[in-house]
Structure 1
């Protein structure tokens, strides 16, 4: 896909300064030489974005529900409730949808603030892997006998190499993801504020844990009835 985009990108400045505000639409137009064709291709992309958004919201609501079941958020007892009729965690779904809508409204007030939140995708996505990799690497080095591997493994040495390589890769990519998109004439609009938001999120998380959740979070809580059902089926 990247090769196809680079092949048909044409004039990069023209694509970046397109009146639509979306360079990929201009690339479609240059590729097919037709407004109708560009509209059709854009419709496909928008449809995929809509379906992906629904899937992401479903996954986020389930993750939220699992977290509140472990008392990981304020108001967990209320949010973790499952609707008796639909058998769905509707409060977790509503919370995920509400947060998504509020984040979308940021663009109405400041495009720079919205872009800062959107730019957290890379650093947040990669940062979520950092702690698990560090923990498993620590166990592989100092407590290898305590790890219960699955039916397939890379082995201790190759696994350690992959973990270290992954951490180095994350450090490099995250560092560059905090850089602004322009090198000169930095303004409040062109500055990349994702580093500030990422650091603020980490601070809020640490303060919340030690100030509120440390004595309340007892997860992960295992549903014994589900384990028994799975055991009977097996």
Structure 2
């Protein structure tokens, strides 16, 4: 099915998800106060544009190859192409599958708040989901997405078109209405200039370290714009429309995401009360408490808060649906080239629905396994987002580094070409990717205990260690990259 620019943008925007980082809003706000959170979005957005421009240029050069995995093989040349595509594909898979988990967790959190407010709030005896029920919601969302991706591709195409309007219209309404409804708003000096450590809660006494952690919401929110690359084989005028979709998605999320953060922060009524475990939302979801305070304070009911929580929940539902689509495509592509264990199973196409159904269900199963610690560990979302970000952004880094390393005369530019600025932009982009991956491996709470331990470094270390040992011992002897799609002699390092 041929994709238009708008359809590509809609699917890409569904994956990016304007509200993606909102579950991190409360913790990011608490680390160093509102100013760090607000200005952090500006800083991260600025450097994300470097990554976006680097990826858009590569996408324009290779419009017929539908993944970072293929780009890496093209750019690294015949000698290093297999290793580059191996690393990139596995990083993509790790990032995308854990990305499904972040959407399932975020959707469960939003639904939990909807149920809590519908049944009387935390103060009024409302129902607050236990870890087991929360896990059931997490699993339920994952299974629904897998079923839709297996049997209802036409429905998914329709949902993707709804998604962009759902998020833009709903997000605009929230940004405009929330400060207007709030009984009071914080002064600009507070929002843009107030820094505050919460050492007694986070255990962090260093302001620079706290500021670095407060930026995690921004790093995580600005992910997923590579989805346009997965669609280039199906997109009309892909050498132009692919880059436009990538950069447009970054632009929309940059503006709307910052506006959303500002709307929430200006509308805070009582900073300390947001985190009180005895408040109406149990101190579990700061954006929900801000919405509740605003609408209940003005209208003495929580209907407005519920409607906007449903908007937020919908964005996570759309995002998870699109993310599992992308994840299955990459698993299928790597399996097709025999780079995945039991590849013959995962590269099979459903005879009726013509989708890689086995790959879809594999992604869903791994995502569910990632969520099992919900039953015992309180920082599961931090760990899953860390794994997601390191894998996803790390996948961006491989083709960008290959582009940086190759001889300039061997790069065949497409319509979107930065000329002499290309190499400096790629260098900044790659360094920013390295920094982003590093900060997501840091401890987020002190003292470090089992309940607060960020297990992302351990999980990633084990996964990447096994993958690289497999490469050194065996895979390097036979894995040649996406040989069906790559003309290995077309570009040389």
Q: Give the TM-score band, short-chain normalised.
A: 0.7 to 0.9
Is residue 411 of structure 2 the alignment partner of residue 144 of structure 1?
no
Is residue 438 of structure 2 the alignment partner of residue 175 of structure 1?
yes
Matched residue, 1:231: none
Deviation at 1:136, TM superposition (A): 0.7
Matched residue, 2:186: none
Distance 2:421 2:430 in 1: 14
Any conservation in 1 of the 2:348–2:356 contact (CA below 8 Å)?
yes
Distance 2:479 2:438 in 1: 32
Distance 1:135 1:223 in 2: 18
Distance 1:64 1:208 in 2: 17
Does 200-209 or 89-98 show the bigger shift? 200-209
- What whole-Å deviation, never above 9, does each CA across 1:162-186 have from its counterpart, x for those lacking one? 111112222333333223333x433
Any conservation in 2 of the 1:5–1:27 contact (CA below 8 Å)?
yes
Q: 1:114 to 1:172 in 2, by over 3 A?
A: closer
Number of residue pairs matched? 219
Any conservation in 2 of the 1:71–1:218 contact (CA below 8 Å)?
no
Distance 1:91 1:174 in 2: 30
Matched residue, 1:91: 358
Is residue 284 of structure 2 the alignment partner of residue 21 of structure 1?
yes
Please, what TM-score do these two structures have when normalized by structure 1? 0.83
Any conservation in 1 of the 2:275–2:283 contact (CA below 8 Å)?
no
Q: 1:79 to 1:149 in 2, by over 3 A?
A: same
Deviation at 1:161, TM superposition (A): 0.8
Q: 1:87 to 1:100 in 2, by over 3 A?
A: same
Q: 1:192 to 1:53 in 2, by over 3 A?
A: same
Q: Give the counterpart of 1:200 among 462, 468, 478.
A: 462
Distance 2:345 2:356 in 1: 10
Distance 1:12 1:122 in 2: 29
Distance 2:341 2:460 in 1: 21
Q: 1:169 to 1:11 in 2, by over 3 A?
A: farther
Any conservation in 1 of the 2:393–2:437 contact (CA below 8 Å)?
yes
Matched residue, 1:107: 374
Distance 2:439 2:294 in 1: 30
Structure 2 SS opposite 1:88: coil
Matched residue, 1:36: 303
Distance 2:474 2:384 in 1: 25
Matched residue, 1:3: 262
Distance 2:391 2:345 in 1: 27
Deviation at 1:68, TM superposition (A): 0.6
Q: Structure 1 unaligned runs (5+)?
A: 225-234
Structure 2 SS opposite 1:187: coil
- Ranked by relative contact order (alpha carbons within 8 Å, sequence separation 6 or more), the top structure is 2
Q: Structure 2 unaligned runs (5+)?
A: 1-259, 487-493
Distance 2:349 2:432 in 1: 40
Any conservation in 1 of the 2:386–2:456 contact (CA below 8 Å)?
yes
Structure 2 SS opposite 1:164: helix
Q: Give the counterpart of 1:45 among 288, 312, 317.
A: 312
Is residue 190 of structure 2 the alignment partner of residue 190 of structure 1?
no
Deviation at 1:120, TM superposition (A): 2.0
Distance 2:479 2:458 in 1: 27
Distance 1:27 1:166 in 2: 35
Please, what TM-score do these two structures have when normalized by structure 2? 0.41
- What whole-Å deviation, never above 9, does each CA across 1:48-72 have from its counterpart, x for those lacking one? 2112111111111111111110111
Aligned pairs for 1:203-218 (under 5 A) are 203-218=465-480
Distance 1:186 1:101 in 2: 26
